[in-house]
Chain A
């Protein structure tokens, strides 16, 4: 038997996990929330999701073909970006906006900075913020669940806007807010399904508990003590509603845990999460937007290189310099 022996430096074994397998886990974790979105908002939600994914993948493929780079579509990261972006959009969004948003995420935010691993902001989040600024009206045209089935859905304010007192509407019960019967983007309405996905990622060790838990906790504590400007709700009710509405859960579980744009050390991740919680609170409480999670995470994305530079693990055998 002729054996072609490969010589390389150690180690000679590797675990099976690959970037594609990690991305696949994230996609699997997002499926419950996506299905719930389709259930609440109808087939239009599915169309938005498919459009965003297709536009993301095609943008990546086209960019890499044109610039003569190796095609990396098979690492599935463009699918994750497209899916995350779709879950951050209202179901009423015109499809051409979805296409432009997806292309923005992939080409401007990701590829121009060097592709996967080099982007300093989460592509889906950056695209969402770009769309909020570019098409404020279309991006806040939310409808009640199940209304989307009908031909002429009427735009509704999100519970967040109502909570903040900047728009008129009904405040859902905590129960409805958690399970998803409320107006909002396709993916953010069902906290329960997002948590389910988060638990799957924890189980598969794709994410650790640090960022989501600390983000939500720090936001919750601040809101409990400083956030309630609604006299009809108790502190606790207001806090729980604030956590379950808007993009907080989606952001904390799926966006603030994006490897590329978050610190690599556990201590750094704690700082990152507290920063996210604080900024989300400040924007929601004092800013002009009802929603703060996206901007908060993006701002902390930008702070990530700084956090990684200053919060390093103390090396084994560390000796104090005399």
Chain B
């Protein structure tokens, strides 16, 4: 028996395209583009000016707000421009352009930290100043996550290696190729939280990663590897916490309410690198895959390169692309251009030849109930969708629409291709807006 949750289902994952491909380190591009919004939280202010010379690891933008983290240059060179530019979210966001001089001169003052002598507060400020955010895709500032409210007792540190989204293998490869940084990073986070044990949840479709992590865990002694059933959305925060602790995060609550903190494996690995070398978050692993990519690959890249640069390095497109996605195919963001830059939360770039998600030509709901049967939050998406279309927001709330985690399984399963999640999102947004207005 493997740990899991109720609902969900296994969907074809296509991970075989890249799961056997070692992470290839890519050189930087000629120009790197750094949007000033790469996290959830307060906006940043540019700290450099056009014409400035910047070095690797230098802060480009920062903010005084607690819920924010700085953005750093991943290359050395001259700031050529600061202007709005296409962000993976689809909006235009102010971005700093740095022309790479390919010398990779390190910013002064970047040196390893001595963890033994540091207080919890000092360590948290290192995490913040290194610009570390949840690298699984959410982009929530890590130092905020590691500072839960005083009254919440944290008992579980859970490392999310489920990687339940199809296609993506970045975390998988990280576990196989660089387990030591993960183990080291876990040790650092445990010290910050004052805990003894971390739980590492890995889907059982990655037996090689489970084996490696088990070996490392038996040496380290502070890690418990928990194999998980291969099922989407096993890596969703609430579902993962339940699978490992059998505790349900209360509706509207946070993981801290059941004493849990969940971190992405790549984030933990970055924490190790930051403390051991002093270098902030300037690189990440990106899976470039999909049926329309010539040579699907896992890359380690400097942030700020364009998607086009990664696609070129993966051999370009092999056939007509109908959909380009940043992130997984279930929750990622569709792109209308190959020009946005890789940001801290870019876990993958997918080029798909099918245009799945075109809801113009849909059939009626035949109440097959598949969305109800598989909803990981035990909701009734068919009714939520209907209430949204009819603008019956009160009923939608009564049917717990705000509990939806937007995993997309209902839309994936719907034989009528109705896109219930699309409708649910619209209603959720309206409800949240109304609440804000009435405050």
Binding site for B on A (CB under 8 A): 1, 3-15, 17-19, 21-22, 72, 75, 77, 115-118, 259-260, 262-266, 308, 312-319
Contacts and interface: CB of A to CB of B under 8 A. Distances in A.
Nearest to B331: A10
A319 B250 contact: yes
Nearest to A265: B372
A206 to B, nearest CB: 9
A121 to B, nearest CB: 13
B329 A13 contact: yes
19 contacts: A3-B322, A3-B324, A8-B422, A10-B325, A10-B329, A12-B329, A12-B350, A13-B412, A18-B417, A22-B368, A264-B382, A265-B372, A265-B380, A313-B372, A316-B5, A316-B242, A316-B378, A317-B252, A319-B250
B377 A12 contact: no
Contact of A6 (B238, B355, B377, B399): B355
Given A9-B425, A313-B372, A117 B366 contact: yes
Contacts of A316: 5-6, 238-239, 242, 248, 251, 376-378, 403
A12 B331 CA distance: 8
B51 interface: no
Contacts of A10: 325, 329-334, 357, 406, 408, 411, 421
Given A11-B331, A116-B364, A5 B324 contact: yes
Interface string B408-419: 110111111101
A266 B364 contact: no
A9 B376 CA distance: 19
B221 interface: no
Contacts of B422: 8-9
A75 B378 CA distance: 29
B325 to A, nearest CB: 5
A6 B350 CA distance: 13
A18 B416 CA distance: 6
A7 B340 CA distance: 14
Contacts of A77: 366
B357 A14 contact: yes
Chain A contact residues, majority secondary structure: loop
A45 B27 CA distance: 74
Given A12-B334, A19-B363, A4 B322 contact: yes
B253 interface: yes
A5 B337 contact: yes
B379 interface: yes
Nearest to A17: B415
Given A14-B417, A115-B364, A6 B358 contact: yes
A265 to B, nearest CB: 6
A61 B327 CA distance: 44
A259 B329 contact: no
A128 to B, nearest CB: 21
Contacts of A5: 321-324, 334-337
B86 to A, nearest CB: 12
B322 A317 contact: no
Looking at A4, A317, A318, A319, which has the most chain B CB atoms within 10 Å of its CB? Answer: A317
Given A5-B322, A5-B337, A312 B380 contact: yes
Given A10-B334, A10-B408, A13-B329, A18 B368 contact: no
Closest CB pairs A-B (n = 10): A11-B408, A264-B369, A117-B364, A313-B378, A8-B357, A317-B251, A3-B321, A11-B330, A13-B329, A7-B334
Contacts of A265: 369, 372, 380
Contacts of B412: 11, 13-15
